[in-house]
Amino acid sequence: MNDSPTETPPPRDAFERARRGRNIALALGLVAFAILVFLVTVVRLGANVLDRPL
Amino acid sequence: MSAMTSLVTTVQPARWQDYVQLLKPRVMSLVVFTGATGLVCAGTPVHPLLGAVAVLCIAVGAGASGALNMWYDADIDAQMRRTRGRPVPAGRVQGSEALALGVTLSMLSVMFMGVALNWLAAGLLAFTIFFYAVVYTMWLKRSTAQNIVIGGLAGALPPVIGWAAAAGEAPANAWLLCAIIFMWTPPHFWALSLYTSEDYEKAGVPMMPVVAGAASTRRQILIYSLLFTPICLVPAFTGLGGAPYLAVAASGAAVFLVLAFRVWRSHAGESADPRLDGRLYDVRAGAKDARNLFAFSILYLTLLFATLLAEKLLGVASFMDLTAGAFG
């Protein structure tokens, strides 16, 4: 058996805290990306949509 | 039971900060700075949001390269003091996760650059990621002492990407900025490796001091410095830099050459420093000259690009326009 303190599994709440942090970071990243794509679309296409031949 | 215990201990909770660390944020900040300088120096009006997106894509592309590098080099990183705390060798993040993050962000950054700006910039960004992750990391780094000379191209390309993003082309002046960083890389990294060569030797990475010895490395630092410093003056004569740039470039070049000469005359890298453990930038007195050159090289490159950036933002006339006005 190994008695090194590093071999003790981390507590469950540490896992859950870390997972929650990762999930929130990923959600914020995805929302920011979606907003960015929307804004770039408005900037790139906005004027062209108004100027298109009818 | 023992096997089970060790299996459990390899699973550590990965925090979101570990994934950020995979992107090498310090390298990203340098790339953002040089990429933004290229974007501004192009002199083409760009919508502020699209300019920010271009810089973001360059940063994310550089981060993706970093993640791919950390996936592939985990074995080397685990053996070096400077890198053994990284998320993959430390066991906080699986190698496959670093690979997935690197591939995903590479594709996202290149596609977004192409859609939002133009496909020349996107192509250059894709080439930069490929060059760093495949040519440098997978091939050159482990096979030749010229690894950082050739591999330095990946770190030198961001200003060209920024320029191309703004202007849709990559003229000679953009490649001049690339050449400055490319020629800066060898003296910069070799000065560092003179006092960290023990680490590279242990990991089997053929850095110049390990393969050719300290004396040869110091000589090559001087040779590359003699080639690098004149290139820094060239932007003043191609319509890119103004009088302030010429003053900064010339005075900095003189200091750079003096420091490189001192490194050549020193005994830096002759023996490993036992006190280095965990303190990358602390060196013994004998390697002080190498540390000085390493530190000044960062300052000099920053000053060159900051001056160009400031001149363009403040509308300072180029040195060539000034002389044409004076004599024309």
Q: What angle do CA A35, A36, A37 make, to 5 degrees?
A: 95
Distance from CA of B223 to the nearest CA of A (A): 46
CA atoms of B192 and B214, how far apart (whole Å): 12
Pick A36 or A2 by higher pLDDT: A36
Residue B201 to residue B111: CA distance in whole angstroms: 39
What does each C-alpha distance from B111 to B44, B106, B162, B234 come to in angstroms? Answer: 22, 9, 15, 34
Rounded CA-CA distance B144/B152 in Å is 13
CB-based contact, B9 to chain A, within 8 Å: yes
Question: Percentage of chain B surpassing pLDDT 90?
Answer: 76
- Using a CB-CB distance cutoff of 8 angstroms, which residues of chain A are in contact with residue B2? 1-2
Q: Please give the model's pTM, rounded to 2 decimal places.
A: 0.88
pLDDT in tens, B272-312: 555 555 555 545 545 889 999 999 999 999 999 999 999 99
A53 Cα to chain B: minimum distance (Å) = 23
pLDDT digits (tens, 9 = 90+) for B245-272: 999 999 999 999 999 999 999 888 886 5
Contact list, B50 vs chain A (CB under 8 Å): 40, 43-44
Residue B126: pLDDT over 90? yes
Q: B10-50, pLDDT tens digit by residue? A: 457 889 999 999 999 998 999 999 999 999 999 999 999 99
- Does residue B4 surpass a pLDDT of 80? no
Count interface pairs A-B at CB distance under 8 A: 48
Distance between CA B73 and CA A29 in Å, rounded? 27
The shortest CB-CB distance from A7 to any of B9, B47, B112 is to B9
With CB atoms and an 8 Å threshold, state whether B9 touches A44.
Answer: no
What would the mean pLDDT of B90-101 be, rounded to a whole number? 94
Please give the mean pLDDT across all residues of chain B.
90
Q: Can you tell me the distance from the alpha carbon of A5 to that of A16, in angstroms, rounded to the nearest whole number? A: 21
CB-CB neighbors (< 8 A) of B16 in chain A: 21-22, 24-26
Residues of B in contact with A18 (CB under 8 A): 13-15
Q: ipTM value of the model?
A: 0.79
| Residue B69 near residue B89 (C-beta atoms within 8 A) | no
Q: Which of residues 61-120 of B touch A (CB under 8 A)?
A: 112, 115-116
Distance CA B289, CA B285 (A): 8
